[in-house]
């Protein structure tokens, strides 16, 4: 290693230990021109300056002042603000001055998950070119994308891949398509500016985005035991950090001696990593923006967890619990159920592929202040990434519009199984959101069109647990099932397979029936 390279390494390490602040006032990376700030709640603004430096932030008629602490950290809080569609400047003053331009006040949504949330117009979506051209109509929708970054400890600043940008044909190609369609629908219905904070990484299991504290439950105790050394405030954390600091101090002494004597500098000690890489993206991507207030979260993930369906329900609870604790907000949380995928089969028993993971996602609907959007009808047999992101985003938006924006006339979901009655050898099924229950066919992004055909993908079984396809009939808002092979039915299943080709059950709102089963066999 050359002397100049050694000097660089030493300066980096010394800078890490001493936390030397830059003398210029700088906001955290999430604060940029073109951003959206959350309305109607206090908004912290924070960053770095020289220790003891006076910092002043002016925005929307407010001026807040503070002093940077001994580490150079500072934070002010803007008082709650009303919706503003007018782009205004934020001025930050210390020994220098920074002006952030064209800032709106509206609703900010964190957009989490894996590749189906990350999937952009550039990667190809149904009718994407048409919607890119139309996007110039929506300059009040803004987006920032956090870069992929794994870390064993919380990072101070979110690494930004794409800066806050105004929606339009030049910027939209790199945006999450599902998030954009969500924002477009909400904005079109409310007129409120929408900010999207993309916080997603393709190919990731859910545990990478859960804050370690979320694992502190009886159901996830093994994961909690692994996480404790990485949770600030626990004795295990203190022990780990003390050991790490001692290691690096010892290395620093050896490195200084080697540098003085012209000898090779020893290798840096290896960092201690959590087994299973729990919380790596939470720490590296989510943690640095948890002070940035949001309206809620949308989530599209699960493809990487379908083999681990048994723990997914508890992990969903851990995710939502930990994010709400981190934001110190009861964040509304809306998520996509996995679309159909994998080779189509004709087995009435089903239970293959994504079926059990979807079931875990549906069970997680017991989370308060949450909702699930169904995508069973828009999947692709040979592609894990459905190109119809329009319906995915809009269905998430329906949940938010119904629950948060007072649009109670909007139907937020397709038919959801409610109860079953066995009578005269038939299973009588009742549903929520079943007004206008019908068989229909969906093509592309168009609304489903009613068709005269029998309801498909219903299976029925007796006490012997042998499954047969059922004869199904719609009567009002109920479905009546029977089979000449099952004289005394005890259980039914609907679309309980990885890829139930040709699902055809919808309500009058054009939303698909959610897959279900009544048994736990």
| Residue pLDDT, tens place only, 316-341 | 999 999 999 999 999 999 999 999 99
43 contacts: CB under 8 Å, gap ≥ 6? 37, 77, 78, 80, 81, 293
3-class secondary structure, 15: helix
More confident residue, 134 or 222: 134
Q: Inform me whether the pLDDT recorded for 272 exceeds 80.
A: no
More confident residue, 243 or 479: 479
Q: Inform me whether the pLDDT recorded for 415 exceeds 80.
A: yes
452 in any annotated domain: yes
CA 490, 495, 496, 500 dihedral sign is positive
Q: Distance between CA atoms of 14 and 322, rounded to whole angstroms?
A: 33
427 in any annotated domain: yes
424 in any annotated domain: yes
pLDDT-derived band at 153 (thresholds 50, 70, 90) equals: confident
pLDDT-derived band at 227 (thresholds 50, 70, 90) equals: confident
Q: How many domains does the chain have?
A: 1
Which tokens belong to 273?
């990593």
Please tell me the pTM assigned to this model: 0.91
Q: Inform me whether the pLDDT recorded for 21 exceeds 60.
A: no
434 in any annotated domain: yes
More confident residue, 491 or 154: 491
Q: Inform me whether the pLDDT recorded for 95 exceeds 50.
A: yes
pLDDT-derived band at 273 (thresholds 50, 70, 90) equals: low
Which tokens belong to 177?
């398509």
479 in any annotated domain: yes
Q: Inform me whether the pLDDT recorded for 34 exceeds 80.
A: yes
276 in any annotated domain: no
As a whole number of Å, the CA-based R_g of the chain is 26
pLDDT of residue 16: 43
162 contacts: CB under 8 Å, gap ≥ 6? 143, 144, 145, 174, 198
pLDDT-derived band at 22 (thresholds 50, 70, 90) equals: low
Q: What residue numbers bound the domain in which 452 lies?
A: 417-517
31 in any annotated domain: no
pLDDT average, residue stretch 157-169: 98
Question: CA 339: distance to chain centroid?
Answer: 16
More confident residue, 346 or 336: 336
**Pick from 456, 449, 435: nearest CA to 505:** 456
Question: CA 459: distance to chain centroid?
Answer: 33
Residue whose structure tokens are 């969906």: 442
Q: Inform me whether the pLDDT recorded for 20 exceeds 50.
A: no
pLDDT of residue 70: 96
pLDDT of residue 292: 98
- What does 217-281 look like in DSSP terms, one character per residue? SGGGHHHHHHHGGGSTTSHHHHHHHHHHHHHHHHHHHHHHHHHHHTPPPPPPPPPP--GGGTTHH
Q: Inform me whether the pLDDT recorded for 307 exceeds 80.
A: yes
| Residue pLDDT, tens place only, 438-484 | 999 999 999 999 999 999 999 999 999 999 999 999 999 999 999 99
Percent above pLDDT 70 for the chain: 95
471 in any annotated domain: yes
The least confident of 58-67, 123-132, 216-225, 415-424 is 216-225
3-class secondary structure, 89: strand
pLDDT-derived band at 388 (thresholds 50, 70, 90) equals: very high
**What percent of the chain is helix, strand and coil (3-state, nearest 5)?**
30, 25, 40
Mean residue pLDDT of the chain comes to 93
| Residue pLDDT, tens place only, 193-219 | 999 999 999 999 999 999 988 998 888
């Amino acid at each position: 290693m050359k002397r100049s390279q050694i000097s660089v390494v030493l300066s980096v390490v010394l800078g890490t230990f001493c936390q030397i602040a830059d003398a210029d006032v700088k906001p955290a990376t999430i604060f940029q021109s073109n951003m959206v700030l959350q309305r109607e709640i206090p908004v912290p603004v924070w960053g770095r300056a020289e220790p003891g430096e006076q910092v002043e932030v002016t925005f929307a008629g407010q001026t807040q002042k503070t002093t940077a602490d001994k580490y150079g950290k500072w934070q002010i809080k803007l008082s709650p603000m009303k919706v503003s569609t007018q782009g205004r400047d934020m001025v930050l003053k210390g020994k220098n001055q920074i002006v952030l331009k064209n800032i709106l006040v509206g609703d900010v949504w964190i957009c989490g998950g894996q590749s189906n949330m990350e999937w952009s117009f550039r990667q190809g979506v149904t009718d994407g070119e048409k919607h890119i051209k139309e996007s110039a109509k929506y300059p009040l929708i803004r987006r920032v994308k956090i870069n992929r970054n794994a870390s064993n400890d919380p990072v101070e600043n979110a690494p930004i891949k794409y800066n806050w940008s105004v929606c339009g044909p030049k910027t939209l190609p790199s945006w999450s398509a599902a998030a954009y369609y969500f924002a477009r629908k909400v904005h079109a219905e409310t007129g409120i500016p929408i900010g999207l904070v993309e916080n997603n990484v393709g190919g990731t299991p859910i545990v990478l985005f859960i804050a370690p504290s979320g694992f502190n439950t009886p159901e996830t105790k093994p994961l909690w035991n692994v996480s404790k050394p990485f949770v600030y405030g626990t004795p295990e954390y203190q022990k780990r950090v003390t050991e790490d600091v001692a290691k690096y101090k010892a290395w620093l002494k050896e490195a200084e001696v080697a540098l003085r004597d012209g000898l090779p500098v020893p290798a840096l000690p290896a960092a201690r990593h959590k087994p299973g890489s729990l919380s790596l993206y939470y720490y590296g991507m989510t943690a640095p923006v948890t002070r940035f207030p949001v309206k809620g979260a949308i989530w599209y993930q699960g493809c990487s967890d379908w083999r681990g369906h048994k723990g997914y329900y508890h992990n969903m609870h851990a995710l939502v619990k930990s994010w709400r604790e981190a934001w110190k907000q009861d964040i509304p949380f809306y998520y996509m159920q996995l679309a159909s995928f994998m080779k189509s089969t004709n087995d009435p028993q089903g239970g293959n592929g994504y079926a059990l993971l979807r079931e875990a996602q549906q069970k997680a609907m017991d989370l308060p202040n949450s909702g699930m959007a169904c995508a069973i009808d828009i999947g692709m047999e040979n592609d894990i990434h459905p190109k119809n992101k329009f319906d995915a985003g809009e269905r998430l938006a329906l949940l938010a519009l119904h629950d948060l924006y007072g649009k109670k006339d909007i139907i937020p979901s397709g038919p959801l199984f409610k109860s079953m009655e066995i009578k005269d050898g038939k299973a009588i099924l009742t549903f929520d959101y079943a007004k206008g229950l019908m068989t229909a066919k969906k093509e592309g992004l168009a609304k489903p069109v009613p068709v005269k055909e029998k309801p498909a993908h219903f299976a029925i079984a007796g006490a012997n647990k042998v499954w047969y396809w059922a004869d199904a009939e719609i009567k009002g808002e109920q479905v009546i099932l029977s089979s000449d092979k099952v004289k005394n039915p005890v259980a039914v299943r609907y679309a309980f397979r990885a890829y139930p080709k040709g699902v055809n059950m919808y309500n009058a709102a054009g939303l698909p029936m959610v897959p279900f089963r009544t048994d736990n066999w």
